[in-house]
Structure 1
Amino acid sequence: MNSTAAQLAARMTIGWNIGNTLEATGGETAWGNPKVTDALIKEIKKSGFNAVRIPCSWDQYANQSTAKIKAAWLNRVKEVVKYCIDNDMYVILNIHWDGGWLENNCTPEKKAAVNAKQKAYWEQIATYLRDFDEHLIFASANEPAVASPVQMDVLLSYHQTFIDAVRSTGGKNAYRTLVIQGPSTDFDKTLHLMTKMPEDQAKNRLMLEVHSYTPYQFALMTQDEKWGNQFYYWGLGYHSSADIAHNATWGEESEIDRAAKDIKAKFIDEGVPVIIGEFGAIRRSSLVGDALNRHLNARAHYLKYFVKQAKADGLVPFYWDEGRLGNNSFGVFNRQTNTVFDKQALDSLICGTN
């Protein structure tokens, strides 16, 4: 447990999310993915990733009167963590959206109740998993909805409760690196609203997390709207002359550069390492002909450029993979067969690290 947060971040090449799985409402396979296996993790490692983010639900497995988490679920999560660490990968384990009990309630009115639950859950999670070495990192939340200084203060209290709860369990957890999330994990909200970090008795053991699906019209938007169109084509040299209406009009290379450099200056340069816990852009496979080829090439450029710029500024990127393989999906791996599904995207992501 000797490494600082910055030293661990420096060793993380690129990360991958086990999305839509352990955080799924209704159970691990409820959102269409199979159970995580050691074979899947081996394929992820072989493909060039050395860190895994595990979005995880806990509230649905807890007694709502006592806040006690089911032992069977704690054991299953421990099993998946062990797959990763046995394959010499770093693991970030969080409390994800989880029904929104924390994420949707960063308000003074909910502060006491949420802090009580945050404390109870993290004491149990940290105690159950405390024997893992520094390859295991805990993360307080996922995308806490915060848009004002008042809400930011409430979120900081949730992060403080998380840190204090983990540290209180002792052993390796007294030194374990922990991750806290910026407001809405948004780059600009984090720059403007996050004016301080929570306190930690362990020195240099905190990381900050932000997410990026910028520009929204390229990364996530799935239909044209009155206010604007989807972006099929992103980046210098990748626009279409035949489909001008779907060329990106903002959020291209200069915006990626700007956001990364601003976060670097405010946090990384001040000693707080930063992970991009989620990023990516959907694959619009319903396009045909030249439009499809141009889109896929633009997407490959986006993924490579995003990773390369993040790494250049010291941010650690974690690709969002929700396991879906159809139109408007992120899936790089076929989890039914534990094989690479989207080699173009995979090659672009890994190439960005070089």
Structure 2
Amino acid sequence: MTSGDAMATVAAMQPGWNLGNTLDAIPDETAWGNPLVTQALLRKVKSEGYNSIRIPITWSNHHGPAPAYTIDQVWLSRVRQVVDWALAEGLYVLVNLHHDSWQWINGYPGDRTTVMNRYTALWTQIATTFRNHSSKLTFESINEPQFTGTSGDAQSDEVLRDLNVAFVRLVRQSGGNNASRLLVLPTLYTNSNQAQLDALSTTINQLGDRNIAATVHFYGWWPFSVNIAGGTRYDSNVEQDMVDGFDRVANTFVARGIPVIVGEWALLSYDYTRPGIIERGEVLKYVEAVGYQARIRKLTTMLWDAGSFLNRNDLQWRDPGLFALMKASWTTRSATASSDQIYVPRSGTVTSRSLTLNLNGASFRSLRQGSTVLTNGTDYTVSGNTLTLTSAALTRLVGNRAPGVNANLEATFSQGVPWPISVISYDPPTQSAASGTTSSFTIPTQFRGDQLATMEAKYADGSPAGPANWTSYKEFWSNFQPDYTANTIIMKPEFFAEVNDGAVTLTFHFWSGTKITYRVTKSGTSVTGSPA
């Protein structure tokens, strides 16, 4: 039995940040688009309020052959340098075997001796290298474990138990501070299904080691996380999925004194290079809820950041407002609203518009445009949780009604960060005829101030067309992509690859509420289209 208070250690690690797509990149540190890690980056992470950093590491390309599997000394020195820099900044540090999980560890069921020898050799070398490092350094056995050649998850759980137990035993036996270092064990796939939680719970019980933490990952309700099947909003489905998953891990582990690290969390399709897949206000609501729901269950969260949140080139947040909300969520709740957008038609009389406030325990204070405080009663009214902007105020805010955002407002509250509201003028988008091929087809689209939310695709009989044929709502960006600069919607080859020859009706849903239909006809590799 090792000494140490695992619950206290994991609590002290909150909040955490992932150095994603860096030392885990294949084949080397900069291969996936991030610059070399600097101590300045780690200092920035610490200065922003983070207390821990997860450093995912892929070892596959950085060691020699059997039987020694000797880790390349230049690579090991680089890993040690980054670890030491992070520790010098006062951060807790977590290192692991990362993409090794699907590169070779997944073959364990069919070749137990070879895989176990390699796994043991790597962890023995890592444990020896860091044996005398600060107890603020922690080890995670495997990232997102998965296996080929098992009869199913139950057998995979057993296979994972072998690897987790071997990891704990060899680290403990390596001595020094490893005798009591916090060790982090994942569930199968790092998911929070009860069967996988129970399997890991059994393993931890059998180990009888008090300095163990459990880890799962959380990327939200899948349709929302990638924008498929109409999952455009942070709704009750998204919230319930989060609450249920966090409840399961809290009840299985935290309630019994076993700490939990949510070792990665974000949204699968949140990527600064692919804007608009998930609407910003909906992202804000999700981030606020993750912070709160994890905090009340004493779960430590580690943001997965592969470069989409913190720009590693200039060390600035790509979306400072999003980070401000995230940071606030570590200690308090922020109010949100049904939307961060108010769409006003470019023609006709401007009418009043209402948003529903999700107060989250706060009370409404003011509505501002920059430094100007709007006037309650004449510019807006608040009744219960309904905020209404008057027609007079909106008429002033839209000005000459140029397409797009005409004004940016902030609703302020008694706690947390303000809620942003964009006032947008738009005309219903229009589309025109086009021809092309299955590998190159774009729909000319005049967006006219509006933004695309999602797209449906159906055959003449009403059945869903294209990939994921269980839903008519296709996956944003994977199947279709708006290009607001070029005034087109790009239809992807991946969409046409799973479309039958003949006519397909596309329905484009915009954030204003506008829907427009367009008919494409596919014949072999040729595609034509026109407004329906």
- TM-score, normalised with respect to structure 1: 0.85
Question: Per the alignment, in what secondary structure is the counterpart of residue 263 of structure 2?
Answer: strand
Question: Per the alignment, in what secondary structure is the counterpart of residue 52 of structure 1?
Answer: strand
Which has the larger share of helix? 1
Query: Equivalences for 1:237-256 in 2 at 5 Å?
Result: 250=237, 252-256=238-242
Task: Select the residue among 292, 295, 298 that pairs with 1:311.
Answer: 295
The answer on whether the counterparts of 1:148 and 1:193 sit within 8 Å (CA) in structure 2 is no
Q: Which residue of 2 aligns with 1:301?
A: 285
- RMSD between superposed Cα atoms in Å: 2.4
Question: Does 2:176 match 1:171?
Answer: yes
Opposite residue 246 of structure 2, the aligned amino acid is A
Q: CA deviation at 1:296?
A: 0.7
Q: CA deviation at 1:268?
A: 1.2
CA gap 1:4/1:44 in 2 versus in 1, 3 angstroms: same
The answer on whether the counterparts of 1:59 and 1:99 sit within 8 Å (CA) in structure 2 is no
The answer on whether the counterparts of 1:15 and 1:52 sit within 8 Å (CA) in structure 2 is yes
Question: Per the alignment, in what secondary structure is the counterpart of residue 32 of structure 2?
Answer: coil
Question: Per the alignment, in what secondary structure is the counterpart of residue 194 of structure 1?
Answer: helix
Task: Please give the alpha-carbon distance, in whole angstroms, between the structure 2 residues aligned to 1:160 and 1:177.
Answer: 14
Question: Per the alignment, in what secondary structure is the counterpart of residue 106 of structure 2?
Answer: coil
Task: Please give the alpha-carbon distance, in whole angstroms, between the structure 1 residues aligned to 2:70 and 2:81.
Answer: 19
Q: Deviations over 1:216-253 (max 9, x none)?
A: 2222x26x5xxx34x332136xxxxxxxxxxxxx2x22
CA gap 1:253/1:78 in 2 versus in 1, 3 angstroms: same
Task: Please give the alpha-carbon distance, in whole angstroms, between the structure 2 residues aligned to 1:61 and 1:84.
Answer: 22
CA gap 1:202/1:92 in 2 versus in 1, 3 angstroms: farther
Question: Per the alignment, in what secondary structure is the counterpart of residue 317 of structure 1?
Answer: strand
Task: Please give the alpha-carbon distance, in whole angstroms, between the structure 2 residues aligned to 1:74 and 1:287.
Answer: 34
Query: Equivalences for 1:154-303 in 2 at 5 Å?
Result: 154-188=159-193, 189-191=195-197, 193-198=199-204, 203-219=209-225, 221=226, 224=228, 228-229=229-230, 231-235=231-235, 250=237, 252-281=238-267, 282-283=269-270, 295-303=279-287
CA gap 1:2/1:193 in 2 versus in 1, 3 angstroms: closer
The answer on whether the counterparts of 1:232 and 1:295 sit within 8 Å (CA) in structure 2 is yes
The sequence identity of aligned pairs, in percent, is 28
Q: Which residue of 2 aligns with 1:128?
A: 129
Highest RCO, 1 vs 2 (Cα 8 Å, sep ≥ 6): 1
CA gap 1:132/1:110 in 2 versus in 1, 3 angstroms: same
Q: Which residue of 2 aligns with 1:33?
A: 34
Consecutive unaligned residues in structure 1, runs of 5 or more = 237-249, 324-330
Task: Please give the alpha-carbon distance, in whole angstroms, between the structure 1 residues aligned to 2:214 and 2:105.
Answer: 16
> Matched residue pairs, number?
323
Q: Deviations over 1:59-106 (max 9, x none)?
A: 210102231101111111111111111111111100001272454235
Q: Which residue of 1 aligns with 2:107?
A: 105
Task: Select the residue among 329, 348, 369 that pairs with 1:352.
Answer: 329
Consecutive unaligned residues in structure 2, runs of 5 or more = 332-532
- TM-score, normalised with respect to structure 2: 0.57
Q: Which residue of 2 aligns with 1:91?
A: 93
Opposite residue 118 of structure 1, the aligned amino acid is Y
Question: Per the alignment, in what secondary structure is the counterpart of residue 44 of structure 1?
Answer: helix
Task: Please give the alpha-carbon distance, in whole angstroms, between the structure 1 residues aligned to 2:130 and 2:273.
Answer: 43
Question: Does 2:273 match 1:320?
Answer: no
Q: CA deviation at 1:308?
A: 1.4
Q: Which residue of 2 aligns with 1:46?
A: 47
